[in-house]
Structure 1
Amino acid sequence: MDGFSLNLFFSYLFLGLMNGGFYALLSLGLAVIFGMLHIVNFLHGVQYMLGAFATVLLLQHLGLGYWWALGIAPVLVGFSGYVVERFLLSRVAGLNALYGMLLCIGLSMMIQGLFQAFFGLVALPYSPPPELRGGLRLPFMVAPYYRLWVLGFAVFICGATWFCIQKTKLGAYLRASTENPEIVRTFGIKVPLLVTLTYSVSVALAGLAGVLAAPIYQPQAFMGNDLIVVVFAVVVIGGMGSISGSIITGFIVGLLEGVVAYFYHEASSLAIFVLMVLILIVRPAGLFGWTVNSPKNAAENDEIFDVTPSGVKATGLMLAVGLLAAFFLIYKFTVLQALCFAIYALSVGFLVSCVGLLSFGHAMFLGAGSYTVAYLSSAWQVPTELAVIAGVMMAGALSYLVGLVALRRQGIYFAMITMGIAQMIYFLILRAPFSHGEDGIQNVPLSNFLGVFPLSDPTVLYVIVSAVFLVTVFAIGRVVNSPFGEVLKAVRDNEPRALSLGFKANRYKLTAFVISGALAGLAGSLKAVVTQSANLTDVHWSMSGQALLMVLIGGMGTLYGPILGAFIVFGLIYYFAFLGEWVLVAQGAVFAACVLLFRRGVVGEIITWLRRSSVAAKRSDTIDARLASDVGRKLS
């Protein structure tokens, strides 16, 4: 290396170390929360953002500078965490970890929407304190004083936190509470209060990271949106719940990011997720984890999962009638987009309900179908119907490869692997020449279906997409009611028993995963046809969150509930578009309300009510029959 290259290399290395400090602080809080509450805290990125905004607002409205903010902002963010845990997260404690994660996603959407509405998307300027301006000139680089301070302070806070958890009496109580809370209660320790305070302190660490980041990255409503995915990768690599693992891995990942950025800047983010996938294949518990807990299935139970052949026919008939009415009453383009999202939600709902697998990377299959159709139609003028078939095949092939890797793990580790691979696909598509980067592929041409029916005609397109949708509904219903579907449910409910009966569980799960991925690819392919475009939104991890939102609102554990959930979510987005930034707030509020109040979803609640009514009616009939019999005996 020449002098310039050496200086540049050390600059990237120093930047990586500083980012590693942020990763360590954030992942430390996440690891504590997961170890104590068993919650995947998707709010952590928002709480990091709150710390940065509190820093700016304290200066603007109270005239309190950086050093005051360093103490006050984390306390304010920690108090907000106390409120969230005390009044919201505690209500899903003890349930499947999926509900806590979904509640956090809903709350993060609400808070980000509120900050976007009040502050816009323009970053708020904030300068480092005067004492830390300038830089230290070293033989190989110039190190800004403020960044040196951030690195040193992050190391100190991480070390102090580790010491408190590992070497103090309070830390011993904390660790014992995560393993056996009942025994800890016998010593007079108030475990719920300890949990709440632990969550608050962990959230305060995220707020502290936000204060440190404010002069560097400038506060903005979505500043933690993509960072949280990287931090989750750090926690998974280090080992879920491992305190020391999160700290060490945070700095390792930061250094890796810096080194890769020096050689090929575009691949720096990709390297983190490649490392995560490789680590989980070799060590499922992460580098510093020792055990992998056996989590519950994503579908909580089999109570409301009831899809009989007659129910499939009835559902299909209702959907057909609804589509016919919508043809005359609703703008066709709106209905077509909703149908694409319904197929996408159905693919995720099938995987969650039938197999008990939570994929947090299904957007990669949606994007695979979308980009395949857009590219083949635009670059090679392939007929639209053949391009759609190719899109489905591409998504199916990708899901097969992903399934071979991801299905080696279960529960949250399966979800994290799918998310990591999805982020890898996202960065590959972002940098691929054919995708046109952030602009996407626009103005996708439409051919005549079978050479006769012009797909540019809205009526023709409506009929064809509706027909594909109805066929998909019937096909999934047939799969669920087949012997294959029965084996899937058996594997979901008790995999060891299914294995003892001679069923190859992994083969069945892989087949189901491919079916689900191909369905998501079909949704993406049709979406590219309907919108005549493909863009990065189709591949972003937030689109996977949208699918989970649809499944939750429609009904976790139901097959066709996600279809209704998709219509509701798309309706919120489309018909409340006039609200602007407040759409995200409304969407997040619905998300959170469903987790807290209607955990079974719309369809699940209806099915439960019908079952209770049926049981009550049968009991009433039995009582009436007994009374009639008694009266008859007395009269005789």
Structure 2
Amino acid sequence: MATVSWDLLFGYLFLGLINGAFYALLALGLAVIFGMLHVVNFMHGVQYMLGALGTALLLQTFGLGYWWALAIVPLCVGFTGLLTEKLFLARIAHLNALYGMLLCFGLALVIQGLVQAIYGLTPLPYSPPRELTGAVKLPFLLVPYYRLWVPVFSIVICGVTWFCIQKTRLGAYLRASTENPQIVQTFGVNVPLLVTVTYSVSVGLAGLAGVLAAPIYQPQAFMGHDLMIVVFAIVVIGGMGSIGGSIVTGFLAGLIEGLVGYVYPQASSLAIFILMVVILIVRPAGLFGWTVNAPKNAAENDEIFDVSAKGVKITAILVVLALIVAFFFVYKYTVIQAVCFAIYALSVGFLISYVGLLSFGHAMFFGAGSYAVAQLGAVWGVPSELSVLIGVLASAALAFVVGLVALRRQGIYFAMITLGIGQMMYFIALKAEFTHGEDGIQNVPQTALFGLLPLSDPTILYIVVSILFIGIILGLGRIVNSPFGEVLKAVRDNEARAISLGYRADRYKLIAFVISGALAGLAGGLKSVVSQSANLSDMHWSMSGQALLMVLIGGMGTLYGPIVGAVIVFGLTYYFASLGEWVLVAQGVVFVSCVLLFRRGVVGEAIARLRSSAKSPKAGSQPEVSFS
């Protein structure tokens, strides 16, 4: 029986307590923003980074040390939150909450890109204040003063914030405004101002966490990039919008992470996500949530452009013509890769437009297909066509399991759960031996199709992938125009009514989710064959963001808009490559512009204008007279 190393155990637990202090502060800010604005603030990690960066720059530029930063930096970061709310979030407050999530994602890309371009990726050095240097000897543990200061200060700030929200009149107005802002405004409360102040204070909490983190983690552009996914999972575990739940769960998650790190260090990154899945199975509303009601689905109340059987054929013909032209004028492998991403975007667009669900974790299916094909082909020598088929089945099986958990919630909750589970799969891929970590699986063979057609020939590969792509377009069109597709539309538009008519909505959504996951796996598998490699970027949550960008640009609410979006995004990626460090900025600007100015997307806008032209009377014609 192994003996317990108490020094090591308490060391891991104390490290977990420090991480929990940051988790609690960040989760608290997220919970407040979600409770007030119903927005998942994807900028929170960036605002945390700005707090740490501002702390270092305050010292380098003005010679102001840690204690000045503790007072000044959260106010400055909070002011950036005020500008964000006034200039951006207020403009889409009347829209589905998922647009706010996408807008914040785009703004985060812009800010991260700017910081990377200006300051690079080298961490800025920052030391603890002189007053908190040294250490104190505790039983089984020698604790630096600064690392003891962080959790104590975090507990105080979290407690004060909780008291202000739960026990003061201002907090009462805030809580009432989340339920019925119109009634609160009749009592003379300036609700828009209250929203702005609340968002700014919550952003200031993220900046405060960044100040605390600066002497420990050293400021750099992406320090909050993956941390926020953990915090999102914590908010889901505690219950979306639960202030106390976020604080308690933040510290609890840190301690659990530390305990798992002591027992099995390789699984410490997975602990939070495994806990999230277990909690959601037992209690879908989270530990401290009281309801499973969610904001409306992704497509609900948005304009949906359903495609007819004739429209399916026209689309297929246009795609065939485009592929023929591209064959002669564009580098073949570029077109093939664009087709792979178009299939991936179709999988996400189908789920949004015809099921009303936005998945922010679809990269797990794309990556599962990619890794399955790479492992089967490069290591086990399985032919490419059989590898791709197995990869599709593996992604479909994964989608079935994930759907059983994630489909218990809707709207933003569903997006957050898929994001958390997707990141859990990413960490599994990171730690698994067969994936070779950051090196990935290389030299994936391109075997002869059915032993006859060598896929190593660019022309044959181009034709095979193109035929498969056309088949997917026709197949999806057939699905959405079938009785199954009609039920999906009914569930999307009014789930309660569909259930009252005897349809098992959960079953239909699960089948559609599996279809979507299988398509994403097919895209990942084909990408693995085409590029002859599989790597961690295939499964990272940023790959899910890329798919959403494609859907948004092409047209959220259209079936085939994602194809156009994929071509545009893929083409811009090649163009943006020449921008070097400014690539993220350019992508973020495109994302934000689409959310604010072009929400229908290219295809959606074109369809809307065609319909408008068809409905408007022709010049010189007499209006129709009715005698009924």
User: Shorter-chain TM-score: which interval?
Assistant: over 0.9
Q: SS at the partner of 2:136?
A: strand
Residue number in structure 2 paired with 1:630: none
Q: C-alpha displacement at 1:139, in angstroms?
A: 2.5
User: How far 1:531 moved relative to its partner?
Assistant: 0.5
Preserved CA contact (<8 Å) 1:301 1:557: no
In structure 2, the partner of 1:526 is: 526
Q: 1:44-71 CA deviation, whole Å, 9 max, x = no partner?
A: 0000000000001111111111111111
Contact 2:296–2:410 (CA<8 Å) still a contact in 1? no
Give 1:94 deviation, angstroms.
2.5
Deviates more, 1:190-199 or 1:447-456: 447-456
Partners of 1:402 and 1:151 lie apart in 2 by: 35
In the alignment, what sits opposite 2:260? 260
Q: Check conservation: 2:372, 2:525, Cα contact below 8 A.
A: yes
Whether 2:484 is the aligned partner of 1:490: answer no
Q: Does 1:322 align with 2:322?
A: yes
2:392 is matched with which residue? 392
Contact 2:136 2:143 in 1 (8 A): yes
Q: Distance in 1 between matches of 2:190 and 2:623?
A: 51
My pick for the range that moved more, 498-507 or 536-545, is 498-507
Match of 1:184 in 2: 184
Paired residues of 1:274 and 1:420 also in contact (CA < 8 A): no
Alignment deviations for residues 558-616 of structure 1 (CA, whole Å, 9 cap, x no partner): 00011111111111211220101211111110100111011111111111111111101
Unaligned runs of 5+ in 2: none
Displacement of 1:163 in angstroms is 1.1
Match of 1:565 in 2: 565
Equivalent-residue separation in structure 2 for 1:617 and 1:602 (angstroms): 25
Correspondence for 1:623: 622
Contact 2:49–2:220 (CA<8 Å) still a contact in 1?
A: yes
2:219 match:
219
Q: 1 CA distance for matches of 2:306 and 2:248?
A: 47
Distance in 1 of aligned mates of 2:301 and 2:412? 18
> What's the counterpart of residue 32 of structure 2?
32
TM-score, normalised to structure 1's length? 0.96
Distance 1:166 1:45 in 2: 26
Deviates more, 1:3-12 or 1:256-265: 3-12
Q: 2:416 is matched with which residue?
A: 416
CA distance in 2: counterparts of 1:22 and 1:187, whole angstroms: 37
Q: Does the alignment pair 1:595 with 2:595?
A: yes
1:123 is the counterpart of 2:123: yes
Contact 2:617 2:623 in 1 (8 A): no
User: How far has the Cα of 1:33 moved from its partner?
Assistant: 0.3
Q: Using the alignment, how far apart are the partners of 2:330 and 2:135 within structure 1?
A: 62
Deviation at 1:189, TM superposition (A): 1.1
Give the corresponding residue for 2:237: 237
Q: How does 1:5-24 map to 2 (within 5 A)?
A: 5-24=5-24
CA shift digits 1:428-480 (9 cap, x unpaired): 22111111111100111111112122111111111111111111111111111
| 1:69 aligned residue | 69
Partner of 2:428: 428
The aligned runs of 1:143-542 (5 Å cut-off) are: 143-301=143-301, 303-542=303-542
SS of the counterpart of 1:235?
Answer: helix
Residues 381-415 of structure 1: CA deviation (Å, up to 9, x unaligned): 11111111111111111111211222222222222
Counterparts in 2 of 1:84-123, with a 5 A limit? 84-123=84-123
The residue type equivalent to 1:498 in the other structure is A
The answer to whether the 8 Å contact 1:92/1:99 transfers is yes
CA distance in 2: counterparts of 1:306 and 1:295, whole angstroms: 23
1:59 aligns with 2:59: yes
Partner of 1:41: 41
DSSP 3-state at the match of 2:315:
helix
Residue by residue, what CA displacement relative to the aligned partner does 1:14-44 show, whole Å, maximum 9, x if unpaired?
Answer: 1101111101100110000000000000000
Q: Is the 8 A contact 1:51 1:206 kept in 2?
A: yes
**Deviation of the 1:127 alpha carbon:** 0.8
- Offset at 1:3? 9.2
RMSD: 1.5
Q: Deviations over 1:330-359 (max 9, x none)?
A: 111111111111000000000110011111
Whichever residue aligns with residue 376 of structure 1, its letter is L
SS at match of 2:361: coil
Question: 2:609 maps to which residue?
Answer: 609
Cα pair 1:372 1:390 within 8 Å, conserved: yes
CA distance in 2, matches of 1:425, 1:625: 60
Unaligned residue ranges in structure 1 (runs of 5+): 628-636
Instruction: Give the residue type in structure 1 aligned to 2:179.
Output: E
Aligned residue runs from structure 1 range 541-580, under 5 A: 541-580=541-580
- In 2, distance between residues paired with 1:626 and 1:223? 67
Q: Supply the AA of the counterpart residue of 2:264.
A: Y
What do residues 533-573 of structure 1 show as CA deviations (whole Å, max 9, x unaligned)? 00011111111111111111111110001111111111121
**Aligned-residue offset at 1:626:** 6.7
Q: Distance in 2 between matches of 1:520 and 1:476?
A: 13
Question: 8 Å contact 2:24–2:247 — kept in the other structure?
Answer: yes
**If the length of structure 2 is used for normalisation, what is the TM-score?**
0.97
Structure 1 residue 177 displacement after superposition = 1.1
- Supply the distance in 2 between the matched residues of 1:430 and 1:195 (Cα, whole angstroms): 40
Quick one: distance in 1 between partners of 2:162 and 2:518? 45
Q: Distance in 1 between matches of 2:87 and 2:176?
A: 24
Whether contact under 8 Å (1:374, 1:532) holds in the other structure is yes
Q: Is the 8 A contact 1:360 1:541 kept in 2?
A: yes
Cα–Cα, structure 1 residues 441 and 189, in superposed 2: closer, same or farther, change >3 Å? same
Q: Could you tell me whether the CA contact under 8 Å between 1:273 and 1:420 is conserved in 2?
A: yes
Q: CA deviation at 1:304?
A: 3.6
Q: Which moved more, 1:396-405 or 1:33-42?
A: 396-405
| Identity value in percent | 72
3-state SS in 1 of match to 2:172 = helix
Q: Against the structure 1 CA distance between its residues 310 and 250, is the aligned structure 2 distance closer, same or farther, given a 3 Å change threshold?
A: same
Specify the SS of the correspondent of 1:434.
coil
Instruction: Specify the code of the residue in structure 1 equivalent to 2:417.
Output: I
Cα distance in 2, alignment partners of residues 302 and 466 from structure 1: 32
Q: 1:409 to 1:625 in 2, by over 3 A?
A: closer
CA contact (8 A) 1:304 1:608 kept: no
Alignment coverage as a number of residue pairs: 626
Please tell me whether the aligned partners of residues 284 and 413 of structure 1 are also in contact (alpha carbons under 8 angstroms): no
